[in-house]
Structure 1
Amino acid sequence: MVQAKIKERKKVQSAWAMYDWANSVYSLVITSTIFPVYFNSVTKSEERGDVVSFFGIDLVNTVLYSYSISFSFLVIAIASPFLSGMADYGGKKLFFMKIFAYLGSLACVGLFFFDGDNLEYGVICAVLASIGYAGSIVFYNAFLPEIATENEYDFLSARGFALGYIGSVILLLLNLFMIELPDFFGLKDGGQAARWSFLITGIWWAGFAQISFKYLPDNPYNKKVKKALLLKGYKEIKRIFKIVKGSSVMNRFLAAFFFYSMGVQTVMYLAASFGDKELGLPGDKLIITILIIQLVAIGGSYLFAYVSKLFGNKASLVIMVFIWVLICGAAYYVVSEYQFYALAFVVGMVMGGIQALSRSTYSKLIPDDTTQHASYFSFYDVTEKLAIVLGTFSYGVIEQITGSMRNSSLALGLFFIVGLGFLLLIKIPKQDFQPIIEVKNA
Structure 2
Amino acid sequence: MDRHKVRAWVMYDWANSAFATTMIAAVLPIFYSGVAASTLPNEQMATSYWGMTQSIAMLIVAVLTPILGAIADYSGFKVRFLRLFSYLGILASLCFVFVGKGDYVLASFLFILGTIGFTGGNAFYDALLNDLVEPEKRDYISSRGYAYGYIGGGVLLILNLLMIQKFEWFGLPDSLAGTHLSFASVAVWWFVFSLPLFRRVKDTRTGSSHTIGQYAKIGFSRIIHTFKRIRRYPELLKYLIAYWFFNDGISTIITMATIYGTEIGLDSFSLIAALVITQFVGIPFTLLFGKIAQRLGSKISLYISLGVYVLIVVFGYFMTQAWQFYALACVVGMVQGGSQAIARSIYSRLVPSDRPVEFFGFLSVSSKFSAIVGPFVFSVVGLATGSSRLGILALAVFFIVGIWLLAKVDLRKGAAEAETIHA
What's the TM-score, normalizing by structure 1? Answer: 0.78
Q: Distance in 1 between matches of 2:18 and 2:269?
A: 19
Q: Any idea what the Cα deviations from partners look like across 1:259-304, whole Å, max 9, x if unmatched? A: 01221112112223444445x4332222222222112112222223
SS in 2 for 1:160: helix
Matches within 5 A, 1:26-45: 26-43=19-36
Matched, 1:180 2:170: no
Higher helix share: 2
Q: Which residue of 2 aligns with 1:271?
A: 257
Q: Which runs of 5+ in 2 are unaligned?
A: 418-423
Q: Any idea what the Cα deviations from partners look like across 1:295-339, whole Å, max 9, x if unmatched? A: 211222222334445566555434322332333344445565434
Q: Which residue of 1 aligns with 2:240?
A: 254
What's the TM-score, normalizing by structure 2? Answer: 0.81
Cα deviation for residue 408 of structure 1 reads 3.7
1:112 to 97, 100, 111: 97
Q: Which residue of 1 aligns with 2:151?
A: 166
Matched, 1:387 2:370: yes
1:133 to 102, 118, 133: 118
Q: Distance in 1 between matches of 2:73 and 2:341?
A: 24
Count of residues paired in the alignment: 409
Cα deviation for residue 201 of structure 1 reads 0.3
Q: Distance in 2 between matches of 1:44 and 1:276?
A: 12
Cα deviation for residue 349 of structure 1 reads 1.2
RMSD: 3.6
Of stretches 122-131 and 60-69 in structure 1, the one that deviates more from structure 2 is 60-69
Q: Distance in 2 between matches of 1:157 and 1:311?
A: 25
Whether contact under 8 Å (2:70, 2:219) holds in the other structure is yes
Cα deviation for residue 381 of structure 1 reads 3.2
Whether contact under 8 Å (1:104, 1:131) holds in the other structure is yes
Q: Which runs of 5+ in 1 are unaligned?
A: 53-58, 432-442
Matches within 5 A, 1:138-153: 138-143=123-128, 147=133, 149=135, 153=139
Paired residue type of 2:340? Q
SS in 1 for 2:395: helix
Q: Any idea what the Cα deviations from partners look like across 1:180-199, whole Å, max 9, x if unmatched? A: 23333222322222222111
Matched, 1:341 2:326: yes
SS in 2 for 1:246: helix
Q: Distance in 2 between matches of 1:339 and 1:65?
A: 23
1:413 to 379, 384, 396: 396
Q: Any idea what the Cα deviations from partners look like across 1:59-116, whole Å, max 9, x if unmatched? A: 9655544433322221111121122123223334443333222211121122223334
Q: Which residue of 2 aligns with 1:231?
A: 214
Of stretches 29-38 and 256-265 in structure 1, the one that deviates more from structure 2 is 29-38
Matched, 1:300 2:293: no
SS in 2 for 1:281: coil
SS in 2 for 1:115: coil
Of stretches 77-86 and 32-41 in structure 1, the one that deviates more from structure 2 is 32-41
Matches within 5 A, 1:50-61: 50=40
Q: Distance in 2 between matches of 1:217 and 1:313?
A: 39
Q: Any idea what the Cα deviations from partners look like across 1:114-154, whole Å, max 9, x if unmatched? A: 3347765544322211111122233334455664647963x
Whether contact under 8 Å (2:54, 2:375) holds in the other structure is no
